[in-house]
Amino acid sequence: MGGQYRITGDKYPRMRPPRRRGRLVVVGIVSVAVLGVVGWGTLQLVDVFTGGGDKAAASAKAACAQGIKVKPSAAAAVVVLPKPAQITVNVFNATPRSGLAKQTADELAKRGFHIGEVGNASKEFDKKVAGTGLLLGPAASLKTSLPVLGTQLAAAQLRTDAARKGTDVDLVIGTAFKQLTAKTDADKALAVLNAPEPADATKKNGC
C-alpha cells in the first residue's frame, strides 16, 4: 500500500483465533483419569466373578502341591486342635456310685490325656448331672480342648464358664454314665475331628 498508509515492522495481524492449549491439556488429563477408573473397576469385577483370577489359582495350586487343604472362600486362620497329652482333665464323680472318677481317670490316662484332680463332684453338680457326663472348661476351650475330650464320651454335654481361669477342663460323670466311648470309636472320632475334609476334598479345592 502506498500513500500515507504504510505497514512498518516485522509483525503482521493474524486472521485466526489463538489456540486454547490450556483447555486441551485439561481435557486430555480428565480423559486419562476416567479411562483409568473404568479399567480399575473392570479388573475388580473380573476378580469378583473369577475368584481372584490367575493369582488365586496359582496360590491354590501351590498349596495343593504342598499337601495343604485350602477352601476357596476360606479367609480365617485354621484352628489347630491340641493333642490329648496337651489337655489336663479333672475327673469328678457326680453319681452315688463310688470309684467311677478314678476308673475313668485311669482310662483317660491310658488314652494319652494328662490327668489333674480326681474326686467327687461339688454340690453344684453332685447328683445333678442326668446324662452320661458334663464337659466343662473356659470359654477358649469350646473349639479346642472340649471337642477333643468329647470324642471320649460322645453323649456328654459341653459347657463353658467365661469366668474360669486356666486351660484345664473337667469331666463330671453323670448318673447315666456306664463307660467311656470304646477306644476304637473314640480314635476314629478324633481322626475325623482333626481331618473333617472328605476324601475327595482335593478335587473340590481344585488340586
In a domain, 162, yes or no: yes
Cell of 130: 442326668
**Lookup result for grid cell 494328662:** 114
In a domain, 188, yes or no: yes
Our CA dihedral for 81, 79, 185, 105, rounded to 10 degrees, sits at 30
In a domain, 43, yes or no: no
Cell of 153: 464320651
Please report, for the domain that includes residue 99, its CATH number. 3.30.70
In a domain, 16, yes or no: no
In a domain, 130, yes or no: yes
Domain count, the chain: 1
Pairwise CA distance, residues 144 & 204, whole Å: 26
Identify which of 120, 89, 81 has the alpha carbon closest to the alpha carbon of residue 105.
Answer: 89
Give the 3-state secondary structure of 163-183. CCCCCCEEEEECCCCCCCCCH
In a domain, 19, yes or no: no
Are 74 and 46 within 8 A, CB to CB? Answer: no
Pairwise CA distance, residues 193 & 81, whole Å: 9
pTM value is 0.60
In a domain, 177, yes or no: yes
Domain that holds residue 180: 91-194
- Which helix H or strand E contains 45, and what residues bound it? helix 21-50
In a domain, 100, yes or no: yes
Each residue's pLDDT, cut to its tens digit, for the chain (207 residues) gives: 555 555 555 555 555 555 556 566 555 665 655 555 445 554 454 454 444 445 555 555 555 554 455 554 444 456 789 999 999 999 999 999 999 999 999 999 999 999 999 999 999 999 999 999 999 999 999 999 999 999 999 999 999 999 999 999 999 999 999 999 999 999 999 999 998 665 554 455 555
